[in-house]
């Protein structure tokens, strides 16, 4: 979006503000830092809106009258200050000498890298926008402008108590922590376990609260690390189905001489699956069990996609999930231990582990799936006449022995003569493709769009899910089950030419869409353009950003201009102004800029209502 006013027509401002307030109350930050300012210097409208929301939430989070329904889960919270991290980027410099500044170019001997190097690695993971950058090394100043609260003088954490004295009754814990730090031996971390156990006991004695709960978890993680304890839980398969069996494995090892007793292991639907035994020094333990996946286990749909949502907003039924980057795993192992006379519970999600011949050991989240899923060959089917179109539906078994029937839930105005077909799949992973013939009931005389859904019957239940995975090396695998549905679009379209040449750009579905409405489309390459007969095409279309990403466009352009000169129609789709492989984009000189006004709801006014382009071959 181009401004915050537009953003807040897409985002429900009060709802999003409530989410920000909830996260502040939950996380209880002492200092809040914004990346963007609440004005046009932020660049985009949603950038600006984020800063507006942060400033309002800073105040609202401390006000018990704002979003009082949250107070059942969290309490009001007032941060010390909120700042804007100003910047000097491109032609825009928002830094000033009177702003608080700090040197972030420090070197970490423990990590062996400077923070500029780590930052570059982080930014280079932003792969969807091509944000790879080189590392910066040495001194680097960051500037901060105070938005609300007291301006810092020495540190961003000025006036913030970072000691244990901020926690009621925490002074004893602070003294124990200081003693443990002073006695720490890098060559023998296990020697710190008795002191850490004493710290844990002291923290557990404190009244409940944010810091008590957070530091208890952190102390337990320190105990496991110093004790050399390793524990993981696995599934033998990548997907499981509620009500069906699965093989689960829990593996542990105690790599120090600290005495650790395994009391029991609770697995989903099978408490006490493994009983009491000692974890001897450096003895690898592996326990496997066949489980029945509980029938009510939710499918691995990202929680923000569980319910249908409007444009720009998700519908999240459970407010406790807000802010989680991933789903809370629904299938977990609980490992109960005794260390130094204290009881511990380690929770590990059941995940899929396998060995890749190139990458080695690979871990991925376990997917809980319906017994069968359906995939459509296309997301849109376009009808320009009443002729039937064949719609392939691919069924995939997510469990053994699935069978039933499939039908299409069609909107009024469409029919399928073969609209109930049976299937039977014996083994998990088996697939079968069924074909349905959909056609409009009447001749196409107007433009209309609707949606149809694939309904798969299995064991007396109906399932309407597709199965997709977002799989990249730099992020965890994400499994989702969107509805198995597609659009049915009727278009009253007249052709005044049929043969099109298409030059692919950065990636789009335009060529396939043109074929769907009856055009004969040929994708053009080097030979076709440089040596072929271009005049055979009624029009040639260049794909989105073709002049940005295809270096050959510079050499093809003279041939395309020759085609235009000889009466051909060349349609150039969207390109950005930089980088361009050539600036000679047309037969006459013109340039691209970044200046634009974007409002998809703006009224369109035609200077000449009778211009033939508005009426031939189709009405605009």
Q: What is the secondary structure of 42-58 as a DSSP string?
A: GSSHHHHHHHHHHHHHH
Tell me the per-residue pLDDT of 161-179, one tens digit each, with 9 for 90 and over. 999 999 999 999 999 999 9
Q: Give the dihedral sign, CA 473/474/477/483.
A: negative
Asked if residue 200 lies in contact with residue 216, where contact means CB atoms within 8 angstroms, the answer is yes
71 pLDDT band, cuts 50/70/90, is very high
The tokens for 580 are: 């361009």
State the average pLDDT over residues 76-100.
94
Percent over 90 (pLDDT), the chain: 84
Backbone angles phi, psi at 140, to 5 degrees: -150, 120
In whole angstroms, what is the distance from residue 238 CA to residue 365 CA?
8
Average pLDDT, the chain: 94
What distance in Å separates the CA atoms of residue 494 and residue 214, rounded to the nearest whole number?
66
* Lowest mean per-residue pLDDT among 56-60, 86-90, 328-332, 391-395: 86-90
Task: Name every residue whose Cβ is closer than 8 Å to that of residue 22 and which is 6 or more positions away in sequence.
Answer: 67, 70, 73, 74, 319, 322, 323
* Mean pLDDT, rounded, for 239-262: 96
Query: Left (φ > 0), alpha (ψ -120 to 50) or beta: where does 235 sit?
Result: beta
Please provide residue 258's backbone torsions phi and psi, each rounded to the nearest 5 degrees.
Answer: -65, 135
Distance CA 103, CA 47 (A): 25
Give the Å distances, CA to CA, from 524 to 162, 504, 545, 553, 554: 65, 8, 16, 12, 15
Per-residue pLDDT reduced to its tens digit, 339-379: 999 999 999 999 999 999 999 999 999 999 999 999 998 89
Question: What mean pLDDT comes out for the span 69-90?
Answer: 95
pLDDT, position 43: 87
| Percent of the residues in the chain that have a pLDDT greater than 70, as a whole number | 100
Q: What pLDDT is recorded for position 287?
A: 97
Mind listing the pLDDT tens digit for each residue in 313-348? 999 988 889 889 999 999 999 999 999 999 999 999
Instruction: Determine contact, residues 422/457, Cβ cutoff 8 Å.
Output: no
CB 493 within 8 A of CB 523: no
Q: Where would I find the H helices in 190-232? A: 193-204, 210-226
pLDDT of residue 131: 82
Q: How far apart are CA 487 and CA 162, in angstroms?
A: 56
User: Is the Cβ–Cβ distance between 401 and 426 less than 8 Å?
Assistant: yes
The token duo for 462 is: 């109906």
pLDDT at residue 598 tops 80: no
Residue 226's SS3 state is helix
Taking residues 212-241, report their average pLDDT: 97
The answer to whether 498 and 518 have CB atoms below 8 angstroms apart is yes
HSE-CB of 401 using CA atoms within 13 angstroms: 3
Q: What is the pLDDT of residue 331?
A: 97
Question: Among the ranges 54-63, 121-130, 608-617, which has the highest mean pLDDT value?
Answer: 54-63
Contact 314, 19 (CB under 8 A): no
Q: What is the pLDDT of residue 395?
A: 98
């Amino acid at each position: 979006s181009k401004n915050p006013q537009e953003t807040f027509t897409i985002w429900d401002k009060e709802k999003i503000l409530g989410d920000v307030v909830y996260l502040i109350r939950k996380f209880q930050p002492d200092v809040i830092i914004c990346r963007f300012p609440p004005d046009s210097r932020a660049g985009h409208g949603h950038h600006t809106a984020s800063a507006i929301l942060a400033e309002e939430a800073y105040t609202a989070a401390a006000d018990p009258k704002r979003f009082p329904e949250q107070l059942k889960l969290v309490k009001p919270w007032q941060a010390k200050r909120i700042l804007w991290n100003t910047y000097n980027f491109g032609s825009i410099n928002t830094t000033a000498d009177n702003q608080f500044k700090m040197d972030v170019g420090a070197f970490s001997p423990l990590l062996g890298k400077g923070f500029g190097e780590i930052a570059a690695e982080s930014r280079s993971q932003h792969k969807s926008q091509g944000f790879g950058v080189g590392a910066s090394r040495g001194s680097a100043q960051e500037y901060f402008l105070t938005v609300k609260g007291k301006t810092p003088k020495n540190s961003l954490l000025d006036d913030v108590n970072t000691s244990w004295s901020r926690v009621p009754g925490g002074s004893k814990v602070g003294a124990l922590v200081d003693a443990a730090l002073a006695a720490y031996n890098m060559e023998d971390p296990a020697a710190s376990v008795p002191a850490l156990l004493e710290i844990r006991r002291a923290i557990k004695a404190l009244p409940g609260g944010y810091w008590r709960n957070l530091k208890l978890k952190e102390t337990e993680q320190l105990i496991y690390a110093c004790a050399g304890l390793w524990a993981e839980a696995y599934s033998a398969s990548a997907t499981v189905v509620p009500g069906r069996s699965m093989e689960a494995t829990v593996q542990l090892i105690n790599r120090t001489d600290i005495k650790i007793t395994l009391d029991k292991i609770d697995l989903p639907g099978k408490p006490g699956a493994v009983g009491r035994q000692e974890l001897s020094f450096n003895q690898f333990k592996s326990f496997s069990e066949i489980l029945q996946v509980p029938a009510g286990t939710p499918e691995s749909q990202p929680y923000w996609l569980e319910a249908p949502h409007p444009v720009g907003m998700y519908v999240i039924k459970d407010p406790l999930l807000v802010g989680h980057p991933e789903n809370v795993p629904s299938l977990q192992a609980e490992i109960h231990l005794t260390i130094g006379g204290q009881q511990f519970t380690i929770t590990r999600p059941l995940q899929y582990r396998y060995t890749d011949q190139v990458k080695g050991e690979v871990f991925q989240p376990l997917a809980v799936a319906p017994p069968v899923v359906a995939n459509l060959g296309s997301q849109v089917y376009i009808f320009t006449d009443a002729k039937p179109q064949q719609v392939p539906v691919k069924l995939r078994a997510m469990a053994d022995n699935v069978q039933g029937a499939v039908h299409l839930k069609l909107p009024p105005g469409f029919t399928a003569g073969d609209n109930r077909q049976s299937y039977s799949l014996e083994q998990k992973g088996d697939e079968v493709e069924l074909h349905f013939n959909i056609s409009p009931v009447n001749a196409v005389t107007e433009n209309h769009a609707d949606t149809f859904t694939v309904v798969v019957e299995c064991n007396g239940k109906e399932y309407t899910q597709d199965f997709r995975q977002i799989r990249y090396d730099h992020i965890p695998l994400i499994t989702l089950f969107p509805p198995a549905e597609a659009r049915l679009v009727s278009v009253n379209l007249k052709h005044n030419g049929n043969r099109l040449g298409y030059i692919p750009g950065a990636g789009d579905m335009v060529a396939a869409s043109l074929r769907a409405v009856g055009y004969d489309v040929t994708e053009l390459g080097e030979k076709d353009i440089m040596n072929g007969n271009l005049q055979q095409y009624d029009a040639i279309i260049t794909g989105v950003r073709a002049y940005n990403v295809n270096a050959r466009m510079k050499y093809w352009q003279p041939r395309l201009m020759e085609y235009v000169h000889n009466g051909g129609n060349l349609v150039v789709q969207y390109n950005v102004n930089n980088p361009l492989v050539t600036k000679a984009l047309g037969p006459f000189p013109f340039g691209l800029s970044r200046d634009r006004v974007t409002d998809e709801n703006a009224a369109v006014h035609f200077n000449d209502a009778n211009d033939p382009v508005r009426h031939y071959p189709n009405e605009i």
